[in-house]
Amino acid sequence: MPAIEILGLEKTYHVGFWRKQAKRALHPLQLTVAEGEIFGFLGPNGAGKTTTIKMLMGLVFPSGGTARVLGGSISDPAVRAQVGFLPEQPYFYDYLTARELLEYYGQLSGIPGQERRQKVKAMLERVGLGEAGNVQLRKFSKGMLQRVGIAQAILHDPKIVIFDEPMSGLDPMGRREVRDLIEQLKQEGKTVFFSTHILSDAEALCDRVAILHQGQLRGVGAVAELTANVQGKIELIWSGTTAPAALKAISAELHVSGDTVRAVLAEDRQESALDILKQSGLRLISLTPVRSSLEDYFVSQVGPDKISAGAGS
């Protein structure tokens, strides 16, 4: 049984004063997340990632389609008890201390008293807030709040963890910690589904990723599978201060630095590039294939125009 099945979920918002104008936030989406995998949900800001996650969590009602979580419906409290959720830029009751907040969430998740106190204590230690447990959240920094957010999402030992932009707004150390934590969750056998617009995080962590752009799915699969189909590139370096016009025309990038020139071009242009160099009498210093990254794939799908372009909320 897959952990999450998204079966044609779609969402159209009606905007404007009279709600006449329809705005498509998500086109019908098909996606399956297997149990025990780390699944990255990628896309530029406004691609529809958060809308999808909110529909998945039952916060927003879809215009069409359905989703199944652990084979059931998210409207079933028993299913929700098996899911942990971290919203984007979480904000918590700032009049509570971290311990009180986790206690409260533990109560709502139905964890019995003695077990709850132990879990809260252990969880505070785990996310590095052991010292700050009795401090009101209004005194917390953004990074500390993110830790609280993660703590509340995994407090009740859920089978599935859904994180919406867990790394955003964190410093490099914080991002590293979150990455380690996601790895740990996988070790514990949990399914992790998280959205991000930071590709390196996804590339380093995910078993599989899906790419969403302007409310449409642009690709889904393992990182290696996706990048395999991207056309490879080569890097040429020769000595000289200029590039022949013919070479300029086929290069994607061209840099002159001191007495060497560096050009990046598509793999299938390699032969013609070498011919041009030979004819021009220029001396080749090196030729190296460039490994294609998730970013290359992403750009090939989303377009290089801009990673933050697009519509939606």
Partner 1 sequence: MNRRVLHIARNTFREAVRDRVLYNLIAFALLMSGAAILVGQISIDIERLVVINLGLTAVSLFGVVIAIFIGIGLVSKEIDRRTLYTILTRPVRRWEFITGKFFGLAGTLLVNTLCMAVGVFAALLYVSHRFQRADGWVLVALYFIVLQFLIITALALLFSAFSTPLMSAVFAFALFVVGCFSEDLRGFAAMAHGAEKWLATAAAYVIPNFSALNVITSVAHGQPVSGQLVLYNTIYALIYVLMALSGAVLIFERRNLK
Partner 2 sequence: MKASGKVTIVAGLLLLGSLAGSVVLLRKIDRMRSHASLEEVLYISSPKALKRLSLGYDGLLADIYWTRAVQYFGATHSQGSEHYELLAPLLEITTTLDPHLLVAYEYGANFMAAKRPNGAGQPEEAAKLVERGIESNPHEWRLYYNLGFIYYMELKDYPKAAAAFSQGSQVSNAHPFLKVLAAQMAQHAGDAEMARMLWTTTYESTQDHMIRANALAHLRALRVDQDITAMEERIEMYQKRTGKLPESFADLIQSGLLPGVPLDPLGHAYKLMDDGRVEVRTPDDLPFIEKGKPLGYVPPKVPKFLPSD
Q: Which positions touch partner 2 (CB under 8 A)?
A: 55, 58, 61-62, 66-67, 73-75
Taking a C-beta distance cutoff of 8 angstroms, is the pair 103, 116 a contact?
A: yes
104 binds, among partner 2, partner 1, none (CB under 5 to 8 A by kind): partner 1
Q: Provide the pairing of β-strand 4-15 with 160-164.
A: unpaired
Q: Where are any strands of DSSP class E within the chain? A: 4-15, 21-33, 38-42, 64-69, 83-86, 160-164, 191-196, 208-213, 216-221, 233-239, 253-257, 260-266, 283-290
67 binds, among partner 2, partner 1, none (CB under 5 to 8 A by kind): partner 2
Residue 264 interacts with partner 1 (CB under 8 A): yes or no: no
In the complex, the smallest distance separating the C-beta of residue 77 from partner 2, rounded to whole angstroms, is 10
In the complex, the smallest distance separating the C-beta of residue 268 from partner 1, rounded to whole angstroms, is 47
Residue 87 interacts with partner 1 (CB under 8 A): yes or no: yes
Taking a C-beta distance cutoff of 8 angstroms, is the pair 266, 247 a contact?
A: no
Taking each helix axis from N to C end, the angle separating 113-126 and 98-108, rounded to the nearest 10 degrees, works out to 130
Residue type, position 236, single letter: L
Using CB under 8 A as the binding rule, the residues of this chain from 57 to 76 that contact partner 1 are: 57-61
In the complex, the smallest distance separating the C-beta of residue 73 from partner 2, rounded to whole angstroms, is 6
Residue 96 interacts with partner 1 (CB under 8 A): yes or no: yes
Residue 89 interacts with partner 1 (CB under 8 A): yes or no: yes
- Any bridge partners for residue 265, and if so which? 234
Residue 18 interacts with partner 1 (CB under 8 A): yes or no: no
Q: Would you say 66 or 184 has its CB closer to partner 2?
A: 66
Burial of residue 188, with CB atoms counted within 10 A of its CB: 0-12 exposed, 13-18 middle, 19 or more buried:
exposed
In the complex, the smallest distance separating the C-beta of residue 311 from partner 2, rounded to whole angstroms, is 24
In the complex, the smallest distance separating the C-beta of residue 76 from partner 2, rounded to whole angstroms, is 10
By CB under 8 A, name the one of 1, 18, 91, 189 that touches partner 1.
Answer: 91
Q: Could you tell me how far CA 292 lies from the centroid of its own chain?
A: 19
Task: Please give the residue ranges that form the binding site for partner 1 (CB under 8 A).
Answer: 54, 57-61, 77-78, 80-81, 83, 85, 87, 89-93, 95-96, 104-105, 107-110, 149, 152-153, 156, 313
